[in-house]
Structure 1
Amino acid sequence: MWSGFKAGCRPFVGLDGCFLKGPYRGQLLSAVGRDPNDSYYPIAFAVVDVESKVTWQWFINELMAIIGPPYQLTFISDRQKGSVDVLDRLCENTDHRFCVRHMYENFRKKFLCLRLKTEFLNASNGFTLEVFKNHMTNIKKMNNDAFEWLNRIPHHLWSKCGFIVDSKCNLNSNNMCEFWNRQILEAMSKPLIYMFEMIRRCLLKRCNNKREYMEDQHGLLRPKVQDEVDKLRLKSRKCRVQPAGPQLYEVDSNGENDAVDMANIKCSYRVWEVTGIPCIHATAVINSRRGNIEDYVSHYYHMETHLNIYAHIVKSLCLRKILNIERYLQILPPLREKPKMGRPIKQRIKSAEELRDIKAKKVGFGKWNFQVRCGKCKMEGHNVGSCKNDAALPKPPRGKGGRPSLKRTGMFVGESSSGG
Structure 2
Amino acid sequence: MPISRALPVAPMVLTLLAVGTASLPSEPHPTPASSYLPRLVVEGRAPAAAFLARHHTPGGGQTFGSTGPGIGPGDRFRAGSITKTFVATVVLQLAREGELGLDDSVEEHLPGLVQGHGNDGSAISLRALLTHTSGLYDYMAALPATDPALTGAAGPSAQPVTPAAAVRAAVARPPVAARGSYAYSNTNYALLGLVVQRVTGHPYAAEIRRRVLVPLRLTGTSLPGVRAVLPLPHSRGYHRSPADGTLREVTDVDPRFAGAAGELVSTLADLDAFYAALLGGRLLLPADLATLLDTRASAGVYGMGIYPQKLSCGLTVWGHNGHITGSYVRSAATRDGRHTFTFRVNTDTAPGAALEADLLEAEFCPPARSEGP
TM-score class, shorter: under 0.3
The structure whose RCO (Cα within 8 Å, separation 6+) is larger is 2
**Bigger Cα Rg:** 1
TM-score, normalisation: structure 1 = 0.21
Query: Which structure has greater helix proportion?
Result: 1
TM score, norm. by length of structure 2: 0.22
